[in-house]
Amino acid sequence: MAAKGKQDKELYRELRQRSCDQLRAEMTKFDATNPNARLEHVSLLRAVGVVFSETGTPEEIEIARVWLRSLLQDREEKIRRYAMTALPKLGANPADEKKVLEVLRTTASDREKKSAAKTLEKIGGAESLREVPSGSQQKIKATLARLETPSSIRLDAVLANFAGFRIHLRGRFGLEQIVREECEERFKAHRKFQVIEVRPGLVALNPVAPFSLSDLYELRCFGTLGFALKATRDKSRGTLAAMITSPVSKRILNGFTQGPIRYRLDFVSKGHQRAVVREIANRVYAIEPKILNSPQAAPWTIAIHQSAAGDYVELCPRIVPDPRYYYRQKDVPAASHPPLAACMSRLAGPLANDVVWDPFCGSGLELIERALLGGVRAIYGTDRDQDAIEIAKKNFAAAALPNLEPQFIVTDFREFLTVAKLPPGSVSLIITNPPMGKRVPIPNLRELIDDLFRVAAVALKPGGRLVFANPLRMETSERALKLKSRQTIDLGGFDCRLEKYVR
């Protein structure tokens, strides 16, 4: 059986590379061959579902759908099961649902019944809901809810009953103190939250007054936001399901959701946990049928985070695109994440009527975040990549910042002052996330960083600042630059030093 399974996979990989026309010829051969040969080539059905869904015209997709539907009446169970699995990829219609329901009603095979139920979870409607096993009903309800009544997060809904709420702001390790400082500064204005805990990658808040999600999304430096239910060392499926359906959880989900409550379950840092997710989702549905596991375009992620205090269950609103970064039209490879750009901008400190330059501007996020804080008179961005410059221009235009006309220049940063016709000592702030050689190859990264220090020492005015993510453990030889702060941050799999220098 193992050898046969390997052959099926190899055949699928080979067929997966073919065009729709080539697969149509294979479909004709499949229909004309004998039953044993058909079983040996059953991987064709899987390939048809994938290839036609990705590259087929509407007419070709319909041809493939009709062909797969006809195979639901094949004498061989394996062929029927493969046809049922492939159909949903083509956007199955009511006629397909009807045929799959016929299989569910007539087959004596438990394996085929399970396959039919899984297919109906993806394509089924009201009729399927009456006939599938209870474990499949949730998926169909979620699909119907998504199609009939789209769900969304209510940013401006105000929750007056906030007892028992704990809010986790998560981000890159090493940036938590910047997140905390932003929180404390913002909270002085409206006093709706207080910081109760700070640890690597996390700032925890308690609400102290009625609040909306809009109040939290005024903060720019955190990565993700989650309402944390109490930590538990009990990892049983029943305990987790009970937490997800608890009164506090339902207050949050009901209060901030427009439309049906749908979620995806994510065991953070544990990889795929399909069997566990399915069991927990079924338990949640049994307790509260209005809370539906529905990963596709769900407005909530329920994330399970491990910690020393136990596992935290966090209800995380999924708002795409993030309303804080409305300006992000397009990115370049290895671009900064907006929360990192926001943290770097805050680290730079207050400016007043100043000139800001990003030597490696990429998609322009650091410059935009700095400009949003105010106190900027002129913006310069340089990059050697013309495409990056065009993207930065589009992003800056989308930011709609008044009274600022940035200059984006295609040039090597070492030539900036000459090309921009600026005298030495005319720049107030250099802020940048330079290429680090991870996704953008750099022949000599040490030389590049050394040149950045050298150019900064010339371009910055007295009191001017250099804020950048330094991928190397190296010190500058430029005596004019004085190190003011340094912190190690996680840049997604490797450590980097976020540094601030003053001239």
User: End-to-end alpha-carbon separation of the chain, Å?
Assistant: 71
Which residues of the chain fall short of a pLDDT of 50? 1-3
The single-letter code of the amino acid at 25 is A
Contact in structure between 351 and 428 (CB atoms under 8 Å):
yes
Share of the chain above pLDDT 90, in %: 72
pLDDT value at residue 439: 60
**Neighbouring residues of 233: CB distance < 8 A, sequence distance ≥ 6:** 310, 311
- What kind of architecture, by CATH, is found in domain 158-317? 2-Layer Sandwich (3.30)
- Per residue in 469-500, pLDDT (tens digit) is 998 999 999 999 999 999 999 987 789 999 99
Q: C-alpha 466: how far from its chain's center?
A: 30
- Which fold is adopted by the domain 326-502? Rossmann fold (3.40.50)
- Which residues have C-beta within 8 Å of that of residue 182, sequence separation ≥ 6? 219, 220, 221, 346
pLDDT on residue 433: 93
**What's the pLDDT at 181?**
97
pLDDT at 271: 64
How high is the pLDDT of residue 32?
A: 94
pLDDT at res. 139: 77
Closest CA to 201 of 237, 177, 218: 177
What's the token pair of residue 472? Answer: 């190397």
* pLDDT for residue 127: 86
Instruction: List the chain domain ranges.
Output: 2-132, 158-317, 326-502
pTM of the model: 0.79
Torsion sign across C-alpha atoms 191, 200, 484, 409: negative
Determine the Cα–Cα distance for residues 361 and 332; give it in Å rounded to an integer.
10
Q: For the chain, how many residues are written?
A: 503
Q: What is the pLDDT of residues 441-471, one digit of tens each?
A: 778 899 999 999 999 999 999 999 999 999 8
Tell me the pLDDT tens digit for each residue of 152-210: 999 999 999 998 899 999 999 999 999 999 999 999 988 999 999 999 999 999 999 99
Full strand arrangement of the beta sheet holding 291-293? 193-199, 202-207, 167-170, 224-228, 312-317, 300-305, 261-267, 291-293
